[in-house]
Structure 1
Amino acid sequence: MRLSRILAAGLLAVTAISTQAVTVIHNFSGYQTTDTALLQFSAMAFDQGKVLETGNLTALDIKYPKAKKIDAGGKTLLPGLVDAHGHMLGLGQLNTMLDLRDQSLKDTLQSIKQHAKSLEPGEWLLGRGWNQVTWPGKQFPTRAQLDTLELNHPIWLRRVDGHAGWANSKALQLANISKNTQAPEGGEILRDSKGKPTGILIDNAMSLLQKAIPSPTLTQEKKSLQNAFSKALTLGLTSVHDAGINEKTLNAYSQLAVEDAIPIRVYPMLSVDSHNYAKLLRAGHIGTPAKRLYMRSIKLSADGALGSRGAALIEPYHDRPREKGLLLYPETKMLALLKLATDNNFQVNVHAIGDRANHIVLNHLETLNKAKSQKEHRHRVEHAQVIELKDIPRFTQLNLIASMQPTHATSDKNMAGDRLGEERLTGAYAWKTLLKQGTPIAAGSDFPVEPANPLFGLHAAITRRDRQGNPSKGWRTEEAMTLEQALRAFTLDAAYASHQEQVIGTLEPGKFADFILLDRNIFEMNPQEVWQAQVLETWVEGERVYRKAL
């Protein structure tokens, strides 16, 4: 199918409007955050996929006497949760690759050896999730450790943050990466004392190896996206902002939309590295806020990540005084790519983790703002992780959205101090400071970097502790959110960040009946246990699309 036909097809409705009679669901503890308050309710009426009103059963019984009634059995009801920064293809591909999250180095090597038994000879062994920061010595691994496994496979394993990769010698050979290979701008090839590649490639240098890996077919990408849809629904996610897709993945989404095969709402961000980037921008937005597929934004990564020391810092790394991280684009090119997006009426969403990257991105957005107000675009800084204190007020001055991931703070709490030193942590993971000045936070997880479960994010946001309860009093708790703020960040403000707050984000009359039922009341339980709550049911447009097996 020609691209023009695929893009046009993306404008078609992807779900039929239900013609069922009015339904009233009742006997639950309901919560939603509106522009003014946290509202509680115990009954809700909906019809043809949209909310009619919320309140109590007595009042709704009078107004809708013939309604079909559903007893929720005393469970907790929330608006469908929104992940404002995830990677759907990566989540779906976890089913076919090795997941190394939370494993020791010894267990990692053993998992690799075991996984190889399921592959054909010579087939690429792919995985992700390793994190050297949790290993003794905290040193990057090397190709030698993979080579000692004596496997007949090229091996490529992406770090947990996705900004570094670990290869064996066979993979390096297939990619023609040797002592003489130069790293591209914005990337780094780690080398041993003799100048030979150690097997670790950082940020833009990863592309040198990844081009040697066979690309998935369009059919395979569609299958991976469908796997991700199914996973999201089990976790109570009814909407996801897909943080950076290329032209092929856009085609996959568009075909799935035509096939009426997108069961959640997806807000993809077109990667600036996409083939035909300019042409796709000129083609305009895809869909509308009410469609399951809606694209009107781009994604640019300004720097790398703290864990792999690719985040661009103003001052050197505390634990590596000669390094300041990496900018992934020259500043002039970065501005040109952003301007091309705004010239075509696209929102820009820019990954910025280090304080230098955040400063440069803010400068660029200020430059763009002089030509045209960006309030209508709702530009976003993705992660906004380490910010100089003097730069924080600029988020409000420029009408920006901070797209942040609460579980990053609880995963990074030990490593961040090593990388930055205690003094620079003042402007890091600064949720409360941003909220106090009026900057909306669109919350997400950055899955599969972190687990996709949004309840893990709610827990991290309010406790600043990991799921094991560490540290016992929380990490830099002065920046914790209230549960009301965290719920809003995962619902209404995340919907605002995708220009969809008029159709989702709350259960106000006229909005879609996207909601979830939990097995316990997160507003009445021990905050440290919030992550343990289970999603029992997920509903999209008044249709139950997931029910947990009991």
Structure 2
Amino acid sequence: MEHIILENGIITTLDPNIPQAESIYIENGKIIAVGTKKDIRHMYDRAGVQRIDCKGAYIYPGFVDSHMHLSLVGQKLQMIDFREVRSKGEMLRLIRERAETIPMDEWIVGQGWQESMLDELPRLEELDESSLGRPLLLSRICFHSYLANGRAAELAGVRPHQEEPEKGAYGRNTEGRWNGRIYEEASLPFHQAQPKPTYEQKKSTIRQAMELALQYGLTAVHTEDLRFIESVSDLIQIHRECCQEGTYLRTHQLIYQPHFDQLEELGLHFQGGDEWMRIGAMKLFSDGSLGSWTAWLQEPYADNPETNGISIHTDEQLLHFAEHARKRGYPIAVHAIGDAAADQVIRTIEQLQRKYGTEEPPRHRLIHAQILQSSMIERIKNAKIALDLQPIFVQGDFPWVVGRVGEQRLTTSYAWKTLIEAGIPCAGGSDAPIEPLSPLLGMYAAMTRNHHPADHSDYHESQKLTAEQALRLYTLGSAYLAGEEHERGSITPQKYADFTILDRDLTRCTPEQIRDANVLATIVNGKIAYTDSSIT
């Protein structure tokens, strides 16, 4: 039996019944009482109760990232990182340096390049030369577009110069020859050709990412890792072992559609699991990304009028998958960036509800929802679709996205405030490692709609959020999307004792001060999961 009093803190509860407090009493990972230091000591201070002095620190409901990828965050730590690279020459130098240190049969993998940040992209011949005969696969920052070399194509068993892929696409030069670029599902053979990590390597990758999340003040994450782990049984075992070994991070696991039938084989159900790991919605994709011109738009791209993106599934395929999930009691969570993709997802959910009704299970979600038409907002609300937003995309996508989709389309895009004020349930995520994992940086982006540091006039200033709106995205919002609003999201009796402890008052800070806040401790289930030693 664990009995803990947190005291001498300045507590923002997000509970309207007691918005502010000084002390919290915890038993066995649950909040029992919230109030003044005097009242909590009077009622609960006794032998066997541990008192933790917060020394005037600021305590918030535990921050939760509603959309990220633990496996990719962990993998990125082992890849060449191109996020800060600004020239083709520097990119090729990093590739050659890695090639010189690894065996001939080891893959060179990297992540984070953006054509908008480079003077030009390497040609296929340059990738072949700099990789010194090693196979190479480099992901764009979005993980929807890649650069590969000839050796990688040979090992993948594909012939991009002679044929088109069954799904996705290959990039081509003006002569129609493959230029090294790969789009969407055309990358699958390249991934499948790489050596499979062992169970211990998978576990280490996940643990490193979990530890990083805790350092950022995250008490839980919504993630989708079966494309890396592959086995639901291994996924459950890895998270169980990480918890048993002292890595205390809750996870809400979206289940990628190709692995969905494993759940039935194991007798698992929606929201099954335990307090540390829960089974979530079926994860699907409707399109790709704006950066690689594969987000699916209703009209062609402004800077590439020959395409309006890529549709991952036909309407019939998406409805089939959605019905398969619904019949087994699961919602769907669908990646949709473009307005054509969003329309397809909304129509699919509308069809489901006409056939099955709007009762449980909660809660279908549309992931990203960047490019929308104004007519979609009411449809989203009426269909009770929750939105999984990434405010930090404003930093990564502007200003280049203006030229990509055109100013007119942006009037109802990245419109976080409009969506919130329409009464649509919204949560905040990072999509890490595509963008930084820090929820504080996400809040800063939501409030400023600017880069870090600020370098221009704000993008669509009318869509700026208040500090409280931004805070709710990463607390109450993420709890609602998971169907866990009765368990977390606010500091309320009988909810889990999950807290993010900072060195400043987010409700009274400038956005810049929020961005620069320090995480003093992360408490999950009443356990100190991370501390900088100032909380004891």
- Which TM-score applies when normalising by structure 2? 0.93
C-alpha contact (below 8 Å) 2:138/2:146 kept by paired residues: yes
Are the equivalent residues in 2 in contact too, given 1:375–1:399 (CA < 8 A)? no
Corresponding residue for residue 480 of structure 1: 464
| Equivalent residue runs for 1:54-133 within 5 Å | 54-66=34-46, 67-105=49-87, 106-133=89-116
Name the CA distance, whole Å, in 2 between partners of 1:234 and 1:121.
Answer: 37
Question: Is residue 281 of structure 2 the alignment partner of residue 300 of structure 1?
Answer: no
Which sits farther off after the overlay, 56-65 or 143-152?
143-152
8 Å CA contact 1:514–1:541 kept in 2: the answer is: yes
Higher alpha-carbon deviation: 264-273 or 205-214: 205-214
Moved more, 434-443 or 149-158: 149-158
Question: What is the CA distance between 1:467 and its match in structure 2?
Answer: 1.2
SS in 1 for 2:520: strand
Q: SS state of the match for residue 468, structure 1?
A: coil
Aligned-partner Cα distance in 1 for 2:482–2:39: 34
Q: Which moved more, 1:520-529 or 1:530-539?
A: 520-529
Give the superposition deviation at 1:287: 5.8
1:412-423 paired onto structure 2 within 5 Å = 412-423=397-408
Q: Secondary structure in 2 aligned to 1:491?
A: helix
2:516 is the counterpart of 1:545? no
* Residue aligning to 1:323: 307
Q: After superposition, where does 1:262-411 map in structure 2 within 5 Å?
A: 263-274=248-259, 277-281=260-264, 283-285=267-269, 288=272, 291-374=275-358, 376=360, 377-411=362-396
Q: Secondary structure at the match of 1:205?
A: helix
Superposed CA offset, 1:484-507 (max 9, x none): 111111011101111111111111
CA distance in 1, matches of 2:218, 2:23: 21
Q: Secondary structure at the match of 2:8?
A: strand
1:25 aligns with 2:10: no
SS in 1 for 2:230: helix
CA shift, 1:163, in A, is 0.3
Alignment of 1:222-301 (within 5 A): 222-243=203-224, 245-246=226-227, 248-259=230-241, 260-261=244-245, 263-274=248-259, 277-281=260-264, 283-285=267-269, 288=272, 291-301=275-285
Instruction: For 1:548 and 1:165, locate their aligned partners in 2 and report how far apart those are by CA, in whole Å.
Output: 38
The aligned length equals 524
Deviates more, 1:204-213 or 1:380-389: 204-213
**Distance in 2 (alpha carbons) for counterparts of 1:117 and 1:83:** 38
2:427 maps to 442
1:143 maps to what in 2?
Answer: 124
Residues 490-529 of structure 1 correspond to what in structure 2 (within 5 A)?
490-529=474-513
Is the Cα contact below 8 Å between 1:142 and 1:166 reproduced in 2?
A: no
**Does the CA-based 8 Å contact 2:14-2:490 persist in structure 1?**
yes
Task: Name the SS of the counterpart of 2:181 in structure 1.
Answer: strand
* In structure 2, C-alpha distance between the alignment counterparts of 1:143 and 1:427, rounded to whole Å: 38
Of stretches 304-313 and 65-74 in structure 1, the one that deviates more from structure 2 is 65-74
Change (3 A) 1:364 1:287: closer
Post-superposition CA distance 1:121-176 (Å, at most 9, x none):
3310111111111223xx55432332342523111011100100111222123223
Taking the aligned partners of 1:465 and 1:148, their CA distance within structure 2 comes to: 39
Q: After TM superposition, give the deviation of residue 286 of structure 1 in Å.
A: 6.2
The answer for unaligned runs of 5 or more in structure 1 is 1-18
**1:172 partner SS:** helix
Q: Which amino acid aligns with 1:143?
A: L
Question: Aligned equivalents of 1:98 and 1:437: distance in 2?
Answer: 42
* SS at structure 2 position matched to 1:156: strand
- The SS at the match of 1:199 is strand
Q: CA deviation at 1:184?
A: 2.2
- Aligned 8 A contact 1:218 1:249 in 2: no
Q: Is the 8 A contact 2:497 2:524 kept in 1?
A: yes
SS of structure 2 residue aligned to 1:339: helix
Question: Contact conserved, 2:160 with 2:170, CA < 8 A, in 1?
Answer: no
Q: What is the DSSP-based 3-state SS (H/G/I as helix, E as strand, rest coil) of the residue aligned with 1:273?
A: helix
The alpha carbon displacement at 1:231 in A equals: 1.1
Task: Report the Cα distance in structure 2 between the residues aligned to 1:150 and 1:481, rounded to whole angstroms.
Answer: 46
Contact 2:67 2:429 in 1 (8 A): yes
CA distance in 2, matches of 1:434, 1:388: 12
Partner of 1:3: none
Amino acid at match of 2:91: T
* Percentage identity across paired residues of the two chains: 31
CA contact (8 A) 2:257 2:283 kept: yes
- SS of 1:73's equivalent? coil
Partner of 2:164: helix, strand, or coil? Answer: coil
SS in 1 for 2:432: coil
Match of 1:48 among 14, 28, 31: 28
Distance 1:464 1:258, change over 3 A: closer
* Structure 1: distance between partners of 2:264 and 2:383: 23
SS at match of 2:351: helix
Taking only aligned residues, the RMSD between alpha carbons, in angstroms, comes to 2.0
Alpha carbons of 1:325 and 1:530: their partners in 2 closer, same or farther (altered >3 Å)?
Answer: same
- 1:539 Cα shift? 0.9
Residues 372 and 470 (structure 1), Cα distance of their counterparts in 2 relative to 1, 3 Å cut: farther
Change (3 A) 1:290 1:484: farther
Distance in structure 1 (CA, Å) of the matches to 2:281 and 2:337: 19
CA separation in 2, counterparts of 1:422 and 1:145? 36
**Where does the alignment leave 5 or more consecutive residues of structure 2 unmatched?**
none
* Cα offset, 1:444, TM superposition: 0.5
Q: Indicate conservation of the 8 Å contact 1:24/1:69, yes or no.
A: yes
Q: What is the deviation of 1:249?
A: 4.7
CA deviation string 1:342-373 (max 9, x = no partner): 11101100000000000111111100011223
- 1:154 aligned to 2:135? yes
SS in structure 2 at match of 1:123: coil
Deviation at 1:195, TM superposition (A): 2.1
Compared CA separation, residues 227 and 242, structure 1 to 2 (3 A): same
For normalisation by structure 1, the TM-score amounts to 0.91
Instruction: Give the whole-Å Cα distance in 1 for the aligned partners of 2:233 and 2:84.
Output: 34
Is structure 2 residue 447 aligned with structure 1 residue 462? yes
**Which stretch of the first structure deviates more once superposed, 498-507 or 295-304?**
498-507
Contact 1:290 1:500 in 2 (8 A): no
* 1:250 to 1:523, Cα distance in 2 relative to 1, 3 A: same
